[in-house]
Amino acid sequence: MKNNEPFYIEDIDIQAFQHDLITWFEHEQRSLPWREDQDPYKIWVSEIMLQQTRVDTVIPYFQRFIEQFPTIDALAEADEDKVLKAWEGLGYYSRVRNLHTAVKEVKEKYGGIVPNTPSLISKLKGVGPYTAGAILSIAYGLPEPAVDGNVMRVLSRILSIWDDIAKPASRKIFEAAVRELISHENPSYFNQALMELGALICTPTSPSCLLCPVREHCKAFYAGTVEQLPVKTKNKKNKKIQLIAAVLTDHKGNVLIRKRPDKGLLANMWEFPQVEKSSLIPSRRVLNDYLLEEYGLEVSLDTEHFAEINHVFTHLTWDIEVYKGMINSEVGETEELKLVPIKDLKNFAFPVSHQNIWKSYIKIAKGL
DNA sequence: AATACGTGGCG
DNA sequence: TCGCCAAGTAT
């Protein structure tokens, strides 16, 4: 055993480990829509969707997305608004804007063929070390590591690695481990099996060690430390932001919506106008003044808000007071500010927070 | 390195 | 109710 190694791999029977892991995967893998073929584009789309997102959530999105944008060309030629709409509700919307950018680049620079080398594929927007390895191994059969949260959890237990997996630097340790362990005969199944094992057996809490196909190779199983691994430091508490929003209609029943900035939170998504609450000035007046100053809009707002929407993001919380109002002046429509018929709202991509605002509005409008 | 970036499910 | 989590990446 070497003291300068971050993990001890000498007493792992690599051949047997690969065999047990891959054989298990061949029998037990779930039937998933992105496993029907090895089209690099579909693998790519699935890997982007699956970032920080559960399989059950992704499945229907993946099916609709591929139906709507079946090929690199189809996605490359689509309008961003349609692409964002297809992603509505999935979260982390930069993922799909980066994917769109990258797909256009693949069409233009690589003739529509997803590059098959680590250096070229890693240059694509939104393709980091994990996604690069996943596409290269699953679609192209190359022996590259694809280290995600599952792989770090599984390998931290098998190899008894006590580095904090919340630290970015730790990923390199696990990549080094995968380079030692990966099957060169079937890198695709090896990587997928590691992730599938993490999803089905080697779960974060109460793992099913007695059903594990590789428990004989697992240091934590023998040491009784499975429940203590992986080491992962906690997140900080998130910030709370108080907002006031307005659902504004004209006398024809059109609704006022605006597009968010093209950077940052919920970039390029649509929303009902909203502004930060003030601790000193009454909300109704803040909203009234904001609409006048920002858009030259004269409105008559209800005396009281009709809903309060609480929305929790990963790093912050929105608490939104929502007012109804009538528009009394002309609206200067732009690319970012539109007055749209209610039946057309479904064509615009809204974050879940504002979908909930609309649901509340409909309830009130129906007199419930 | 640390933080921004969504959402829904679960104990 | 609430923190944690789930196939990460960009800056």
| DSSP secondary structure of A216-230 | GG-HHHHHT-GGG-S
CA A312 / C1′ C5 distance in Å: 14
Contacts of A366 (CB under 8 A, 6+ apart): none
Nucleic strand B under 7 Å from the C-beta of A57: yes
CA–CA dist A43, A56 (Å, integer): 16
Residue spans of the domains in chain A: they are: 14-148+168-205, 239-365
Between CA A352 and C1' C3 the distance (Å) reads 21
Query: What number is the average pLDDT over the span A214-225?
Result: 96
Q: Backbone dihedral region of A49: left (phi > 0), alpha (psi from -120 to 50 degrees) or beta?
A: alpha
**pLDDT digits 0-9 by tens, A10-61:** 889 999 999 999 999 999 999 999 999 999 999 999 999 999 999 999 999 9
Paired with A245 in beta bridges are A274, A322
Strand B reaches within 7 A of the A87 CB:
no
CA distances from A181 to A16, A18, A198, A200 (A): 11, 7, 16, 21
Closest CA to A180 of A6, A314, A361, A364: A6
The pLDDT assigned to A5 comes to 59
What is chain A's mean pLDDT, rounded? 95
| C-alpha to C-alpha distance for A84 and A100, rounded to whole angstroms | 10
- Report the pLDDT value the prediction gives residue A145, as an integer from 0 to 100: 97
Provide the CATH topology of domain A14-148+168-205.
Endonuclease III; domain 1 (1.10.340)
Residue A197 has pLDDT above 70, yes or no: yes
In angstroms, the CA A295 to CA A105 distance is 37
A316 CA vs C3 C1’ separation (Å): 13
Catalytic residues of A, which ones? 47
Is pLDDT above 90 for A73? yes
Contact A307, A361 (CB under 8 A): yes
For residue A54, give Cα distances in angstroms to A39, A61, A143, A284.
21, 11, 25, 40
Same fold, A14-148+168-205 and A239-365: no
Provide the residue type at A31 as one letter: S
Q: What is the DSSP letter of A31?
A: -
Architecture of domain A239-365: Alpha-Beta Complex (3.90)
Q: Is the CB of A267 less than 7 A from some atom of nucleic acid strand B?
A: yes
CA A328 to chain centre: 40
Checking if the pLDDT of A186 tops 80, the result is yes
Q: In this structure, what is the dihedral angle of CA atoms A279, A283, A286, A291, given to the nearest 10 degrees?
A: 150
pLDDT for A236 beyond 90: no
pLDDT digits (tens, 9 = 90+) for A113-164: 999 999 999 999 999 999 999 999 999 999 999 999 999 999 999 999 999 9
In this complex, the answer to whether residue A98 has its CB under 7 A from any atom of chain B, a nucleic strand, is no
% pLDDT > 70, chain A: 98
Q: What phi, psi does A310 have (nearest 5°)?
A: -110, 125
Per-residue pLDDT tens over the stretch A304-350: 999 999 999 999 999 999 999 999 999 899 999 999 999 999 999 99
List the alpha helices (DSSP H) in chain A.
Answer: 14-28, 40-50, 55-68, 72-77, 80-87, 94-109, 118-121, 129-138, 149-158, 170-181, 187-200, 219-223, 283-295, 352-365
- Chain C: nucleotides under 7 Å from a protein CB? 3-10
